Amino acid sequence: MAPGVLESDDQRSVASPYIPAGKVASQTNGGNGLTAADYMEYEDNYSVNGMPPHRVVIHRALGSYMWDLEGRRYVDFLSAYGSVNQGHCHPRVVAAVVEQCKRLTISGRGVYNEAYSLMCKKLSETLGFERVAATNSGSEAVDFAIRLSRKWGYQKKGIAPDQAWILTASGNYHGRTMTPLSVSTNPNFREDCGPFVPAMGSTISDRVNRFGNIDDLRTIFENDGHRIAAFMMECVQGNAGCLPVPDGYLGQARKLCDEHQILFICDEIQCGLGRSGYLMTPEREGVRPDILLLGKSVTAGTVPMGVVLADNSIMSLMKHGQHGSTFAGNSMACAAAYAAVEVIVQESLPERCLKLGKVLLERLASINSPFVARATGSGFFCSLWLNPDPRGRVTGRRLAALLLERGILTHAYGDKIRISPPLNIDEDELWNCVSIIEKALQDLPNISERIANE
């Protein structure tokens, strides 16, 4: 059964890898009589603007597949921006959340609870850090890391009060709350949001720290390292186009941070936990950051959660009463995280992603189309970049719309589209989707009319 077409109940039961033989995956609209047009109207009229959505209402998902209200199946090449490395609704994670929900949803940090204790131990031992801090999102994890780094800068490094800088790299994406927005270089994100939090960002003393440019980093450290508490970066910049740092950069950055007594923070919220082909992307060069940030797939897309990991020499600077929020470390999120991380390790998803990801990048780059400029990425965290079409027929937005018609869900970011399926996608399905993308690029120049969802 090809993606993007209507399926009967019997056909859907075959397509879903987690449904036992003989079982049927039912498809309804919830029995309330509402149509896809109704739901889209409600969201358009009652919700704030966000990322422009495809004009499709997703009803359910399982593994690498999603179904809309009409029963059309799509292969998910977006993975909710890296939130479902384990696949949608992984049965072990869902079971853990459901069981925890029946017993205890939240206790607050005013008492000990089993789920939080077990989650902290699991992540600490799996990822090799002494301490764990839970937040409600990746953006909150970034905020916590910045506060923690400044404490370290003042108490350990001796930076003058209120002068501790947090250096980032140009082209970054660390979130959209006020603190991470203050380090962003995206003018659209920052429009009419100032004034921003001072003493952080990719420009210091009029010097720009370009992503992946070790000479920029060295020069900035030599001139301003005395007032920099931490250097925070993504090992693969997602919103910039799934751009990995050049080979050798992470090792050199680690060395420079050590020489100048600067904390090295790796934001792995999008590309960590196997998506880049490594449990932690710095492992690619045998590098261990001082602070590691996780989110998204840390709970397999079930309950929102962010995580900060560091050793006790850093984490102990956060005293009682200085960190915490009502839902941070709630029992359901912790149960989800425990199961989600266990699935990633036990199913060897990073190793699988590294092996298939190398082939995926090669196949994307070799697509037979004059409009393919390049393919970038690591593991299953890739972008396909397009050459400009003078007639305006081949654009990222039109390609994403045509792929949706043909059963692949992805998104366009300007002249590029994201290629990020769940890490356990069926291999034959993966290569079939690459063929669909190639055919779409060959057909698109000949399609002059508007495409639905364009």
The full 3-state SS of 165-226, as one line of letters, equals EEECCCCCCCCCCHHHHHCCCCHHHHCCCCCCCCCEECEECCEECCCCCHHHHHHHHHHHHH
Q: Count Cβ atoms within 10 A of the Cβ of residue 155 and give its class: 0-12 exposed, 13-18 middle, 19 or more buried.
A: exposed
Single-letter amino acid code for the residue at 408: I
- At 397, give phi and psi (nearest 5°): -65, -45
- 431, 424 in Cβ contact below 8 A? no
Q: Looking at per-residue confidence, does 238 or 2 come out higher? A: 238
Average pLDDT, integer, range 394-407: 97
Which segments of the chain belong to CATH 3.40.640.10? 91-347
Question: Can you tell me the distance from the alpha carbon of 336 to that of 172, in angstroms, rounded to the nearest whole number?
Answer: 28
Average pLDDT, integer, range 221-235: 98
The predicted structure's pLDDT at residue 324: 86
DSSP character string of 408-420: EE--EETTEEEE-
List pLDDT tens digits, range 122-174.
Answer: 999 999 999 999 999 999 999 999 999 999 999 999 999 999 999 999 999 99
Residue 50 binned pLDDT confidence (cut-offs 50, 70, 90)? confident
Peptide bond into 53 cis (omega under 30): no
How much is the mean pLDDT over the chain? 93
Task: Give the pair of three-digit tokens for residue 423.
Answer: 């890490």
**Considering the entire predicted model, what is its pTM?**
0.92
Rounded to 5, what percent of the chain is helix, strand, coil? 40, 15, 45
- 274, 281 in Cβ contact below 8 A? no
Average pLDDT, integer, range 318-325: 90
List pLDDT tens digits, range 286-311.
Answer: 999 999 999 999 999 999 999 999 99
Task: Give the pair of three-digit tokens for residue 264.
Answer: 């090295």
The predicted structure's pLDDT at residue 16: 40
Question: Can you tell me the distance from the alpha carbon of 154 to that of 159, in angstroms, rounded to the nearest whole number?
Answer: 5
Q: Is the pLDDT of residue 30 over 80?
A: no
Question: Can you tell me the distance from the alpha carbon of 244 to that of 266, in angstroms, rounded to the nearest whole number?
Answer: 13
Residue 53 binned pLDDT confidence (cut-offs 50, 70, 90)? confident
List pLDDT tens digits, range 196-213.
Answer: 999 999 999 999 999 999
Q: What's domain 91-347's architecture?
A: 3-Layer(aba) Sandwich (3.40)
The predicted structure's pLDDT at residue 17: 39
Average pLDDT, integer, range 93-115: 96
The predicted structure's pLDDT at residue 100: 98
Question: Can you tell me the distance from the alpha carbon of 336 to that of 97, in angstroms, rounded to the nearest whole number?
Answer: 6
User: CA end-to-end span of the chain, whole Å?
Assistant: 25
The predicted structure's pLDDT at residue 52: 79
Among the listed residues 207, 281, 297, the one whose alpha carbon sits nearest the alpha carbon of residue 245 = 281
Helix (H) or strand (E) holding 339: helix 331-346
Average pLDDT, integer, range 417-430: 98
Which segments of the chain belong to CATH 3.90.1150.10? 47-76+349-453
User: 3-class DSSP state for residue 307?
Assistant: strand
**Looking at 29-38, 203-212, 333-342, 390-399, which range is the least confident one?**
29-38
Residue 123 CB coordination number (10 Å) = 23
Q: Is the pLDDT of residue 350 over 90?
A: yes
Fold exhibited by the domain 47-76+349-453: Aspartate Aminotransferase, domain 1 (3.90.1150)
List pLDDT tens digits, range 57-83.
Answer: 999 999 999 999 999 999 999 999 999
Q: What is the DSSP letter of 81?
A: H
Average pLDDT, integer, range 302-330: 95
Q: Is the pLDDT of residue 14 over 60?
A: no
Three-state SS letters, 90-111: CHHHHHHHHHHHHHCCCCCCCC
Cα Rg, the chain, nearest whole Å: 22
List pLDDT tens digits, range 251-278.
Answer: 999 999 999 999 999 999 999 999 999 9
DSSP character string of 25-58: -----TTS---HHHHHHHHHHHS---SPPPS--E
Among the listed residues 129, 123, 125, the one whose alpha carbon sits nearest the alpha carbon of residue 288 = 129
Q: Is the pLDDT of residue 18 over 50?
A: no
Question: Strand 73-76's sheet: what is its strand order?
Answer: 58-62, 65-68, 73-76, 408-409
Q: What percent of the chain has pLDDT over 90?
A: 87
